[in-house]
Structure 1
Amino acid sequence: MRIRTAELQDADSLARVHVDSWRSTYAGILPDEFLAGLSYRDRESFWEQVLTTARPTVSNFLAETASGHVVGLAAGGPERTGNKNYLGELYLVYLLEQYQRRGLGRLLVSAVAERLLADGFDSMLLWVAKDNHPACRFYEALGGELIDSRTIDIAGAGVAEVAYGWQQVADLLTDQAGV
């Protein structure tokens, strides 16, 4: 397994991981019809736009097998909600269900954290669905502190989210050897 920067030619693979991980992760949290309606093509267009739009302090990483099969992704950059206590934000981390609990999520978070530090963001937060209990436990295991909550609308459903924060992004750096 390896973590690397996502490139334009990865857009289709990123789309598949994005859609498939949403369908498995958010079943029972988001409306079934919304999840069923997620489109690989729409997500591929989304990732093509993300990967061709120049945003110097936004990073996009992927996790892939030795054979080049993309199994996870993560993105981060400047904090987007105006929180003055946290400069950076982990925008997303998604792994195919069968690749979870293998250390790849930790490595993806570490890759984003390393880039945030390089860009001068020494603190970080993230937002996660409150009912996504495995993800909440994961962020707590990484030392995240519960710092905020909100409700957002996704497909007409009010989704409760919580924010986890790290005052020191450096605490999230890991040795990527051997995974």
Structure 2
Amino acid sequence: MDIRQGTAADAEAIAALHTRSWRTAYAGIIPDDYLNGSLADEQAALWRHRLTGGDPGHLLIADNGDGMAGFAYLTPKGDRILLDNLHVDPGLKRSGVGGVLLRHALDRAGTQELYLEVLKRNTTAIAFYERHGGTKAREFVERFPEGFEVDVLEYYWSGIRSDTVPRRSSHAS
């Protein structure tokens, strides 16, 4: 599997994968009318903005030879790095793609703390982050502009080298 830096040419494919991932992972957690409504258009606008210089983040794309298998997006936040997105094509879950992307994100963060926010009811993702050495830091409620709220957990990795993160060849997200 190759990991490459994303470009503006990837915006449409990233938005489509991001939307598919949300619709799969967040079904029953986020209202269906949002997941099946404006989400796709919002993701398209977000990724066009991010990848045309509108955001200082860094996009990592996993290509498994058949196309885009997943992606991770990192954004500097003061002295920490936010892993703002880590999504794997829903048909490739538990294939190792998520673990590879997480290790690359940790390498990219270097000695800075890497953190992410995950929906509390997304137990599959939480189990993945915990298997890969993530430490739960805090819990909060996120309010979406569309009028709903979700419970969120923050996980972090502090100064961890990717070669110390557990590898699970066939059981990673």
Give the number of equivalent residue pairs. Answer: 166
Distance 1:139-1:172 versus aligned 2 partners, 3 A rule: farther
Look up the match of 1:99: 92
Read off the aligned partner of 1:127 and give its amino acid letter.
E
Deviations 1:113-165 (A, max 9, x none): 22221xxx521211100000000000000111111110011232210000111
RMSD, matched Cα: 2.3
Q: 8 Å contact 2:104–2:162 — kept in the other structure?
A: no
Deviations 1:29-88 (A, max 9, x none): 0001000014544422321210111655x2111122313x213111112237xxxxx722
TM-score (norm 2): 0.85
Distance 1:173-1:114 versus aligned 2 partners, 3 A rule: farther
State which of 57, 69, 72 in structure 2 corresponds to 1:71. Answer: 69
Distance 1:94-1:100 versus aligned 2 partners, 3 A rule: same
Question: Offset at 1:4?
Answer: 1.1
Q: Which runs of 5+ in 1 are unaligned?
A: 81-85
* Cα distance in 2, alignment partners of residues 89 and 53 from structure 1: 18
* Cα distance in 2, alignment partners of residues 124 and 34 from structure 1: 29
SS at match of 2:3: strand
Instruction: Give the stretch that moved more between structures: 143-152 or 162-171.
Output: 162-171
Read off the aligned partner of 1:74 and give its amino acid letter.
A
TM-score (norm 1): 0.83
Look up the match of 2:59: 60
Task: Write out aligned runs for 1:160-179 (5 A).
Answer: 160-171=151-162
Percent sequence identity over aligned pairs: 28
Read off the aligned partner of 2:75 and give its amino acid letter.
G
* Cα distance in 1, alignment partners of residues 88 and 148 from structure 2: 24
Look up the match of 1:44: 44
Look up the match of 1:32: 32
Q: Which runs of 5+ in 2 are unaligned?
A: none
Task: Write out aligned runs for 1:5-16 (5 A).
Answer: 5-16=5-16
SS at match of 1:53: helix
SS at match of 1:169: coil
Look up the match of 1:87: 80
Q: 8 Å contact 1:73–1:108 — kept in the other structure?
A: yes
Runs of 4+ deviating beyond 2 Å: 38-45, 171-174
Look up the match of 2:126: 136
* Cα distance in 1, alignment partners of residues 70 and 3 from structure 2: 9
